[in-house]
Structure formats: structure tokens, C-alpha cells
Structure 1
Amino acid sequence: MQTTFAVPLSCEDCINDVSGSLHKLNGINKVTANLKEQLVSIEGTAAPSAIVEAIQATGRDAILRGSGKSNSAAVCILESHTPHVENKVRGLVRMVQVASNMTIIDLSIRGLSPGSYHATVRETGDISEGPESTGPIWEAVKAKKEGTPARGAFGTVEVGKGGVGTVFLDKPVQVWEMIGRSIVVSRQQDGKFDRNDADTIVGVIARSAGVWDNDKTVCSCSGKTVWEERREQVDRGML
């Protein structure tokens, strides 16, 4: 898998610092940096969330600009629908299709209570009522008839005492099948959800840019740079 990240770089020493930190990770095959464009390209099998942490360990931030080939990546921002929660954003799911019928899922959570949580793709992308309006687990009815696991049952993620949890999975699905559906992360896998439970989070799966598909440095809507937007999203709780 290839990924590109926007990283503030000012000199060759910056590049060497970032590259050295990345090569400490398992699964890093190649690191290429473009000083002029402030971009770092990584090839390998390491999770994007682990790559971001490695870059941030050098004192620099990183924004994922693209993953995989065109039309092969998706993203889902997981939020709490509980009114009393201040920072709504509690999780982020990145999905990249790496083969004709194989997609890797990188799920990161921050701010939930410690414990085990189920991650499921739902039949619809209707989150107007939070998790309650998302419908059943994707293809659960079909799976029950065939006696096989539901394609939407992605697995579990363990959240530690600090409220942080990550999991890196691979599933025999294609990205286009999931676009427009939703993901629910909750202590219970299915049944009647409680939208007032701060530890139940939900989001809609949207298409994400492939490698080199996104060279935007200024948002056409707000006129803000990607780093200004990044700071605002971090203040909201974005991972």
C-alpha cells in the first residue's frame, strides 16, 4: 500500500528525521519526501495511524492526503450523538482496497471508556437518529441464511485505560460496496442502540482520495490552509 502525507518540512535534516522515525516501524518498505511540495510518500504494510504517530514523534504533524489507487480508499469519521458530549469526534476509520476482493481497515478511537467494542458496517448511511437509524448489520440477513459471518461484522477493538484503542484488520470486501453506508462502534454488536450513550459512536463512510489525487493546500470553501483546518479539527477532537 502507498500513502501520501502532508508534513511541514524545511530542510534535508527534517526529511532525514522523519524518514528515520518511519523506518523504525515494521512494514515500511520505502519513504520518499518532496521538500518543495511538503509531501512524504510511504510504501509498505504499516497502518496509516501508526505512520502518523511516527511522524508526530519527530515534533511534526501529518495530514493523510491519499491512500492506494484512485477510487480504492474510504474514510469514516466516528462521532457521538449524545447532546452533553463536548468533543463529538471520537474515532476515525480509514479503508484502502489492496486487492480485487480485499480491503484493509485502520480503526482508531480516542475518548471512550475502557473496554471491548464492536465495529460494524450498517445497511444504510442514515445517522439522523444516531446509531438507531443506521439499520441492521450489512448483509446480516443473507449471512444468517447461509450460516456465514455477516460481511459488516468487522470485529472488535480494545480501548485501554487512557481511552485509546486501535485495530488493523483486513476483510474480503470492496470499497465501493461500503460507500454511503455507516459504521457503528459500540459495546453491543447489534440490537437497540442508545443514542444517549456517549460510548456509542457512528459515522458515514465516504470516498477518500487516492495517492496523488489530492494536492489541495488551500480550501476553496473557507480560504484556509490545510494546516489551519487541521488545527480546527484537532480542537474538535479529530484524531
Structure 2
Amino acid sequence: MINRGGDALVPASDPEASTEDSAVRDREVRGLARMVQVSPTTTLVDLTLRGVAPGRYNASIREYGDLKFGATSTGPIWAGGSGTTQPRGILGPVEVGGDGRGAAFLDHPIQVWEVIGHAMVLTGQESQDDLKNDQNTVVGVIARSAGMWDNDKTVCSCTGTVKASVPEFQEAARPALARQS
């Protein structure tokens, strides 16, 4: 999940705080969610939480990725065209201990591409239908990131331009380099 430039879950308690405002200090990272699709029908969700009150938190994928008003603007739990009474966006529980830390590995029958752009919400609230913004509800937007070693870059010695390491760039750079010598 990406929020404010990192793979982060942030508190929903002050969603309209300006980045210049002192209230931003309250928006520290409260957790991390990693999603790895391990088969065509199964995704592993690795969740960690920190700095929240002890208790049971429910993780869910929401219909929208709109965080303008925090958790309240993320919409209902994502149904995902399930056609059943159980929405596909219900991920499961995360237990947080007395130290304010919790972790869970959840496998879920979704494909990662289906949920990119949706919000993920972790809340201790009993009802997940009408979410309220509070200090212990954390939100983030699910985004794609490159896999390990999948984002190699090459710096062109002729212009200094950073380019992705692809054969076309490497081939195109050779004639320019030959002309310079």
C-alpha cells in the first residue's frame, strides 16, 4: 500500500491535515502491508501494525481509494463481483498486543491487479459498514511496486539521462557513444 511516498498505513484521525500543518506529525506510519500473488487465484497479505491500541483489528479492502476524508471516504467493503453475500474485500483479523504491535499473514482468493487503487483499512471498530476516523483506524491505498531487482536503471554516458535498462536503450546508446570517440 502506498501513502505519502512509502509503503505505509497511516492513521485516519486527521485526513484533511495540510502537509504544512503541525497535525501532520500525527500521521506517522502505523504499519505496512505487502501483497504477493502466489498463484493465479491466491494472494498472500503480510500485515504489520505498530503504535495502535491493543485489541483485534479487522483488515478490509474498500470499494474506493479515496482518502480525502480518511476511512469515511473509502466506501463499503469491496465486493469484487463476488455474487455472494460475503464481500471479497474482507481480509481477516490482526491481533495487536499490549506493546501496540501486531502482525498477520493472510491468504486470500484475489489477484493483486484487482485491488490496485483501492483502499485498505484496518480498524478495531465493530461495524465495518460506517467507518469513523479515529486514532486507531489506519488507511492506505494499494499500489503496485516493482519486484526485487525488477527496476534496474542505466545512466546514459552521453547525456546523463537515467533510462530503464532495456535492450532497446542499450542498442540505441551504442552508436551515439561510438560517434563521441
TM-score calculated relative to the size of structure 2 = 0.70
DSSP 3-state at the match of 1:123? coil
- Aligned pairs for 1:5-84 (under 5 A) are 76-83=7-14
| Residue 116 (structure 2) aligned to one of 176, 179, 196 | 179
Task: Name 1:194's counterpart in structure 2.
Answer: 132
Q: C-alpha distance in 2, partners of 1:87/1:123?
A: 23
Kept in 2: contact 1:107–1:166 (CA 8 A): yes
Shift of 1:87: 4.8
Q: Letter of the aligned partner of 1:113 in structure 2?
A: A
Q: C-alpha distance in 2, partners of 1:208/1:128?
A: 23
Task: Name 2:178's counterpart in structure 1.
Answer: none
Kept in 1: contact 2:77–2:129 (CA 8 A): no
Q: Deviations over 1:94-144 (max 9, x none)?
A: 00111111110000000000000000000110011000000110107x55x
Shift of 1:208: 1.4
Shift of 1:215: 4.3
DSSP 3-state at the match of 2:149? coil
Q: Letter of the aligned partner of 2:143 in structure 1?
A: A
Q: Letter of the aligned partner of 1:181 in structure 2?
A: H
Shift of 1:89: 1.1
For the structure 1 residues 190 and 97, does the alpha-carbon distance in structure 2 shift closer, same or farther, using more than 3 Å as the test? same
Q: Deviations over 1:194-237 (max 9, x none)?
A: 22x10011000010111311347xxxxxxxxxxxxxxxxxxxxx
C-alpha RMSD over aligned residues: 2.0
Aligned length: 139
1:165 to 2:165 alignment: no
- Larger gyration radius, structure 1 or structure 2: 2
| Residue 211 (structure 1) aligned to one of 148, 171, 178 | 148
DSSP 3-state at the match of 2:53? coil
TM-score calculated relative to the size of structure 1 = 0.54
| Residue 94 (structure 1) aligned to one of 6, 29, 34 | 34
Unpaired stretches in structure 2, ≥5 consecutive residues: 15-22, 154-181
Larger proportion of strand: 1
Task: Name 1:105's counterpart in structure 2.
Answer: 45
Q: C-alpha distance in 1, partners of 2:129/2:76?
A: 8
DSSP 3-state at the match of 1:207? coil
* Range moving further from structure 2, 183-192 or 93-102: 183-192
Unpaired stretches in structure 1, ≥5 consecutive residues: 1-73, 217-239
Q: Deviations over 1:136-161 (max 9, x none)?
A: 10107x55x623x3210000000000
1:151 to 2:88 alignment: yes
Instruction: Spell out structure 1 runs of 4+ moving beyond 4 A.
Output: none
